[in-house]
Each structure stands twice: as structure tokens, then as C-alpha cells.
A and B are shown apart, each in its own frame.
Chain A
Amino acid sequence: MADLETFRAETRVWLEANCPAEMRKPVMRDADVCWGGRNVKFTGEAQRVWLERMGERGWTVPEWPKAYGGGGLSKDEAKVLASEMRRIKARSPLSSFGIWMLGPALLKYGNEAQKLEHLPKIARGEIRWCQGYSEPGAGSDLASLRTSAEDKGDHYLVNGQKVWTSYADKADWIFCLVRTNPEAPKHLGISFLLFDMASPGVSTSPIKLISGASPFCQTFFDNVQVPKENLMGEAGKGWDIAKYLLTHEREMIGDMDSAGRASVSQIAKRQIGLDAAILADTGLRTDVVRHEINAWAFALTMERVKDEAKAGQGVGALSSMLKYYGTELNKDRQQLLMSIAGSDGLTWEGPTDGDGDLARGWLRSRANSIEGGTSEINLNIIAKRVLELPGA
């Protein structure tokens, strides 16, 4: 424990000296979030310096091994770092699918050369990654994907189309599910490829969503040559990696950081006001409190799941439960916020910063129970893996 306290003291001093003042202000706009990459556009010198300094120490990925550009910290040290960053309200220096998704899979399934090549660049924010999973004909039935990777001796020749590729138009590299064996049963013919989005034959086209934003793209592959060494894991074993990553992603989506955001009742109180010490709109009050009961019970479930995991206990297919319930709750929250705002919530554009955010946020939330496995798919998984109900 004494070591941990020394670490805390040193960390505090270092953060104090190295975290620019601008990086201690709340994130206000999308641009305030740094995604790194070859074409990164920093909002200013402070954002650049903050990423560089944290990247050098490996503190963008505190628990990854030092050999791969990580901080080499223990779980407890990483917690101390996080709490010290919270203390000074430091922004996260880097947001990255490389950190959240590919990195953990690389550490588990990648070979040494791949780890040494890719992990440090992820840690320093030099390469921005995107995920090539869904296809026009392969959504919930992801394993029926058809993008092909033909073995050409020293390289794979990739042809096909991906869709719902988050920020593909801004990404440098893609981790991609491809079919290497069209003869094998559908789950067994899939492989996991890593390749450069600058390769000849790759093109992207953003998709405009009902929220007005375009966070997703269509991605096309036309005779893209991918070196053989870019295959991660064994050929035909890509589905295992895909499942691992999806589980990881579902836990992350279910666990979307709700700490620090205002509760529905706080917002309702502020906007609607009280009458005789209770919310002035009694009908909405019932909806609000029922939402909060569920939100609270869900937060306690997240806490219990973590405690159980620490104690080596736990329920299977939890990621599906957390993803399903967490996203349905968030949709409920967004709808309630719209009701609380009334006609003000309908604003789409306006003269003030933030006008239209509520409606756009509501529309964005509708995708929560579609992306990363629909609610229905997650219920299928619970029925099959936890309840062991017979197959149809």
C-alpha cells in the first residue's frame, strides 16, 4: 500500500506539471475528443501536447505491457491514475477503437510481430482504426458475411462491401472479417484481417442518419491486396475473435459511462419545477421515478457483476444481459428527456450552441439497441446460453 501511495504522489506531481490547463476543461464539442490518426486535426497545441506526453508514458493504455507501448501499470496503479486524472478533471487524451476493441484482441490473438507493429502506434494515437464487421446482407446474421479474401500465395485478394463502419472515412487501418473459405460451414470459413485503408481498391462513403450525423460509412473493397502476414490468428478461426470482440463491445456499450451525467429527475426538476414539493407534472413524475428505479437497479447490477467477477463468481452471457438492458434503458431515458422538454425538445437547429442536441441525441439513441448486436439477438443469446432453451 505504501508503494501505491508513493505512486499516487508521483502521479499527482507529474499530472500537475504535464496536463495543460485547457485539457482540464469539460468536453463541450465533438472536436474536443481526440481520436488521433495520421490525419488528426488538433483543436490546438494543448490537445497535441497532452496526447504526446500521455502517449510517451504509455498512459493512454495504462495496463498494457511496456513492450507494446503501454504503461505497464497494475490494476491498482491504473485505478490511482484514473482517480488522479478525475481529481484535476483531466480529459481523456485519446479515444480510440484501437484501444477499446482491437488492442485487447491483439493482445489475446495476435502474434508477436503484429503486437510490436500495431500496439505502440495505437497507444501513441498514431494510427486510427475502424471495424469492418456488418455487411448489407449480414447484420444480425453476421456469420453469413460474404466479403471474400482469396488466397493468392503471398497475399489475400479482398473483394466485397462493409456497412455501418464507424468513422471509416477518417480511419487509417481496418480490422475486418472476411471469408477465406467459401466451402466451409459459415462460422468456420471466416478470418480476421488487418489492413491499411490507404491500400488501392479501398473506398468509403458516409451514411447520413436520422439524427443528421454521419458517424457510419459504407466501405468498398475492390481487389484490395493484403499481405499474408496481416492475418490475425489462424485462417478460418476469425469467428472466435469476432465473438470475443463483440462480447467486449457489448460490455462497453452496456456500461456506457453514466457516472457524472445528470439524472432524469434532476433534469425534470430543473425544467418543470416543483409544486408543493413534488414535480409539477404528476403524470411525468410517475414515469420519471419508474425509470429511475430501473436505472438504479441496473447500476447496482453492474456493480454486483464487477464484485462477483472479482470474487471469481458470475453469470454467463452477462455481456448480452448488460448490453440489452443498458441500451433499452438509455433509449427510455432519451425519450423521457424529450417528453420533459416538451416542444422545446423538437428544435432541430437554432442560433445557440447546443440547439438541436436533445432531438439528435434522442434519434442517435435509437441505434443503441441495433448496433453491436440487436436487443433481439442478445435475447436469443440469453435464451440459448443461460436458459439453455432448445433451438428452433
Chain B
Amino acid sequence: MALVLNDDQKMIRDSADGFFKTEAPVSQHRRLRDTADATGFDRDTWAKMAEMGFAGVLVPEAHGGAGFGHVAAGLIMEAIGRNLSAAPMLSTAILATTGLVAAGTPDQQAKYLPLIAEGKRLFALAADEAARHNPAQVATTATPSGNGFRLNGVKGFVLDGHVADTLIVAARTSGDDKDKDGITLFLVDRTAAGVGTERRAMVDSRNAARVTLDDVQVDGADVLGSVGGGFAVLEKMLDAGRACLAAEMLGVSSESFDRTVDYLKQREQFGQKIGSFQALQHRAAHLFCEVELARSATLRALTALDEGDDRAAMFASLAKAKSGEVAKLATNEGVQMHGGIGMTDDFDIGFYMKRARAAQETFGDIAFHGDRLARMMGY
């Protein structure tokens, strides 16, 4: 597949750009933060996203979704990045849908996928336990009990964990702490006895929760995929999430960059526009190149997922690593080139730096993905 958008994808890009700019602009993000909104996103906006087909972007048409695919999902995430729109897009529409499509039983798919597409059920992935992303590191246990399992453990950094209806929990049914084998995924009702969620306020004002599992009883029918073989499914979910986060960070980078270049054309010092100074021009031009590279890597990763390319995991790591580094550079430069006003809370540019930091940490930064890529390439 060529690295260009087709006409359908261009239409999705245009409608996503228009939608988030009007329905969920940066001012909404600011309001949600200032009012310490209990949900952390706007439920009406999410309902409209479902109407637009965004919530069901990866849900197959047979299950009531739009089935647009990953390139389209990335375009939606890019628009979300540009506008810093808060929505359970990643947790529900990308991660949960990927897991259910990849490994769900016909019953699980029939039960959940239509609800996801309609925007009526929210999911959260409860996988990470360590502060530094390491998905194989699972100490949470699942011990056989009755006709199912009993879960015990603590999960940190569960995105949208405090509002999700269903948690997808990675727990260990066998093996040691860091083994890839022996991890099993469970669909757990958040209101089930023994499930505790504690919301954490984060630097980017998004939602994450600490989830405690205290003798939580789950049914055998709530296993997602096979017992002990959950890691492969988890990796699929994470890789879709990584590619989509790369797309969101691309949106963060390009919006931060556009705003900065605009500012360089307006701000005057020493009797001239600061954009006429070569010290700033060269940094801006370099950043332009970097954003283009992030765009190529991201588009490749999303295309690979749509094609079922066996290098999809590699491209997801490449995109996550590169787009994360570029988002860091773009937002750092954004604040620096705005000078004092960039440091003020009244001004939006700082929001982009905060989101870039959180998105970079989510599901692995360049250190994690550099190591993963090197291992994939045999060094």
C-alpha cells in the first residue's frame, strides 16, 4: 500500500479535523481541567463521536462498527492530538476493540463490540504494574476458583480506569514475574466485588487510575483469549495503541509547531519579527523535517496494521519511538520560542508539552522501543 491517503481517508481526516476543532477544542480541555470534572471527558462529545463512526472505527461492520481501519483511526487520533480532545478513544475504541477482535469469543464479540461502536460501553486496560512500561512484568495473580479464577494484585496507570464499565486485566496464571508465558487476560466488571479504583490526577489532566484487585471472582467465560497465552493478545492491543499514540503525538507536534511558527511571525523584538532571526529559523526548519519523519513512520505503522504486515510490531515501535521524540522536541521548542508567555497557564502551548510527556510515557518511550527494536533485529 502506498504511503498516501486515499479519498475515503482524506474525507475522514477532514471530518475529524472539523469535528474536534468545533466539538472538543482546547478550550474544552481547559474547562474540564478547571472544573476538576469527575468524568474527565465530555460524555456528549463521546456520544457524538459514536455517531460519527469514530468510536467504532475499528469495529467490523458485521458488529455494527464503521470498520474504517487503522489509518483512519490514526487520522482521528491526530485530530485529537491537535485539539487535545479528551475522550476514551484510546482505551475503548483502540485497545479494547483490538483485543476483542483479535481474541474475543463470538459471544464476547457479539456482546461488546456493538456497544463500543454505539459509545455505550467503556473499557480500560489494566496491564502495567511498574512505573516504567514493561508489559511482561505481571505479578497480579489469577488462581483457579470455582468455575473461574480469583484475581489479586495492583495495577497502576490504568487509562480511563475510574470510569470504565469493563476492565481488561492482565494476570498471571503461571510462570514467573517477568515471563511472557503464563499471562491471561480477563474481562472484569469494574463494579464487581473486590475491585477498587482510585483516580490519579495527572500532569496532562487526563484520566488514569490505580486499580486494586482483592479476591475478585471472575468466570471462565470472562477469559479473553487463551489461558496463559494472553501476552500475544496484549501485544496486539498495545501495538495498535502505540501506533495510534504515535498519531496523537504527531497531532500534538504539528499543532504545537504551527502555533510556534505563527508566533515567530507576530512577535517583535529589537524592532523586528523574531522569526527573522536565523537562530530561530534553523531550529524551526529542523523541527519541520523531524515532524515529517514522524509522519512517515506513523503512517507506515498504521498501514502495516491494516495490511496485517508481519512487521507491524516493528513499525509500531518505530513510530512510537520517533513520534515521541519529535513530540518532546516540538513542545519543548514551542514553549522556549514563545518565551515568557509560553510559561503561563493562560496560554495553551504548555498543555501540548504536558500531553506530549504523558503520551510518550504511555506504552513505552524511545528507551523501551529502542530496546525492543534492537532485539527484534537481533542485537
Chain A residues proximal to chain B, CB less than 8 Å:
265, 268-269, 274, 277-279, 285-286, 288-290, 292-294, 296-298, 300-301, 303-304, 307-308, 310-311, 313, 315, 321, 324-325, 376, 378-380, 382-383, 386-392
In the complex, whether B296 has a CB less than 8 A from a CB of chain A is yes
State the majority secondary structure of interface residues on A.
helix
B269 within 8 A of A: no
- Do B374 and A386 touch (CB < 8 A)? no
For residue B62, CB closer than 8 A to chain A, the reply is no
Known: A293-B370, A304-B4, A387-B275. 9 other contacts (CB 8 A): A265-B374, A288-B374, A289-B371, A296-B318, A300-B296, A304-B299, A378-B285, A389-B273, A390-B272
Which B residues lie within 8 Å of A383 (CB)? 278, 281-282, 284-285
A325–B289 Cα distance when bound, in Å, is: 7
What are the 6 tightest A-B residue pairs by CB atom distance, in nearest-first order? Answer: A383-B281, A382-B285, A300-B296, A304-B3, A297-B293, A379-B285
* A333 nearest CB across to chain B (Å): 16
27 contacts between A and B (CB under 8 A): A265-B374, A278-B375, A278-B379, A286-B367, A293-B366, A293-B373, A297-B318, A300-B3, A300-B299, A304-B296, A304-B299, A307-B2, A308-B3, A311-B2, A379-B282, A379-B286, A380-B278, A382-B288, A383-B282, A386-B285, A386-B288, A387-B261, A388-B265, A389-B261, A389-B264, A390-B276, A392-B272
Please report the C-alpha to C-alpha distance between residue A303 and residue B289 in the assembled complex, in whole angstroms: 15
Q: State how many angstroms separate the Cβ of A123 from the closest Cβ of chain B.
A: 32
Residue of B nearest to A392 (CB): B276
Instruction: Assess whether B163 is interfacial by the CB under 8 Å rule.
Output: no
Is A382's CB under 8 angstroms from B322's CB? no
Establish whether residues B278 and A308, one from each chain, have CB atoms under 8 Å apart when the complex forms.
no
Question: B187 an interface residue at 8 Å Cβ cutoff?
Answer: no
CA distance A304 to B285 in the complex (A): 19
Q: How far is the CA of A382 from the CA of B285 in the complex (A)?
A: 6
Report A-chain residues with C-beta under 8 Å of the C-beta of B296: 297, 300-301, 303-304
List chain B residues, Cβ under 8 A from A286: 367, 370
Q: Which residues of B contact A307 (CB under 8 A)?
A: 2-4
Q: Give bound CA distance, A117 to B2, whole Å.
A: 40
Please report the C-alpha to C-alpha distance between residue A294 and residue B370 in the assembled complex, in whole angstroms: 11
Is B292 interfacial (CB 8 A cutoff)?
Answer: yes
Asked, given contacts A303-B296, A325-B289, A389-B265, whether A294 binds B4 with beta carbons under 8 Å apart, the answer is: no
Provided the pairs A301-B296, A387-B285 are in contact, do residues A289 and B261 lie with their beta carbons within 8 angstroms?
Answer: no
Is chain B's binding surface mostly helix, strand, loop or mixed?
helix
Q: Please indicate the chain A residues that have their CB under 8 angstroms from the CB of B2 in the complex.
A: 307, 310-311
Q: In whole angstroms, what is the CA distance A304 to B339 when docked? A: 35
Q: Closest residue of chain A to B283, judged by CB? A: A379
B residues near A297, Cβ cutoff 8 Å: 293-294, 296-297, 318, 322
Neighbouring A residues of B293 by C-beta, 8 Å: 294, 297-298, 300-301, 325
Residues of chain B within 8 A (CB-CB) of A313 are 4
Residue B271, interface by CB 8 Å:
no
In contact, A390 and B273 (Cβ under 8 angstroms): yes
Contacts of B278 in A (CB 8 A): 380, 383, 392
Give the complex CA separation of A303 and B299 in angstroms: 11
Q: Is the CB of A294 within 8 A of B322?
A: yes
Interface mask (B236-278 → A, CB under 8 Å = 1, otherwise 0): 0000000000000000000000000100110000001101111
Inter-chain CA distance A114–B268, complex, in Å, is 52
Shortest Cβ distance from residue A304 to the other chain B in the assembled complex, whole angstroms: 4
Q: Are A293 and B322 in contact, with the CB atoms below 8 A? A: yes
Q: Which residue from B264, B273, B285, B377 sits with its C-beta under 8 Å from A265?
A: B377
Q: State the CA gap A362–B273 with chains docked (Å).
A: 40
Of all chain B residues, the one with the shortest Cβ separation from A304 is B3
A386 to B281 Cα, complex, angstroms: 11
B378 adjacent to chain A (CB < 8 Å): yes
Which B residues from 1 to 31 make CB contacts under 8 A with A? 2-4
Residue from the list B276, B374, B378, B379 in contact with A389, Cβ < 8 A: B276
B379 touches which of A285, A321, A378, A386 (Cβ 8 Å): A285
Q: Does B206 lie at the interface of the complex (its beta carbon under 8 Å from any beta carbon of A)? A: no
Tell me if A288 and B4 are in contact (CB < 8 A): no
Interface presence of B321 (CB below 8 A): yes
Verify if B300 is at the interface (C-beta below 8 Å from A). Answer: yes
Knowing A293-B321, A376-B282, the reply to whether A390 touches B366 (Cβ < 8 A) is: no
Give chain B nearest CB distance to A276 CB in angstroms: 11
Nearest to A263 among chain B residues (CB) is B377
Which chain B positions have C-beta within 8 A of A290?
366, 370
Interface centre among B288, B299, B374 (most CB of A within 10 A): B374
List, in ascending order, chain A residues with CB within 8 A of B276's CB.
389-392
| A213 to B: closest C-beta gap in Å | 30
In contact, A300 and B284 (Cβ under 8 angstroms): no
Chain B 288-323 interface 0/1 with A at a Cβ cutoff of 8 Å (1 = within): 110011111101100000000000000000100110
Residues of B within 8 A of A288 (CB): 374, 379
B375 neighbours in A (Cβ, 8 Å): 277-278
A297–B324 CA distance with the chains assembled, in angstroms: 13
Known: A297-B297, A380-B278, A392-B278. A321 touches B264 (CB 8 A): no
How close is A380's CB to chain B, nearest CB, in angstroms?
Answer: 7
B71-108 vs A, CB cutoff 8 Å, 1 = contact: the mask equals 00000000000000000000000000000000000000
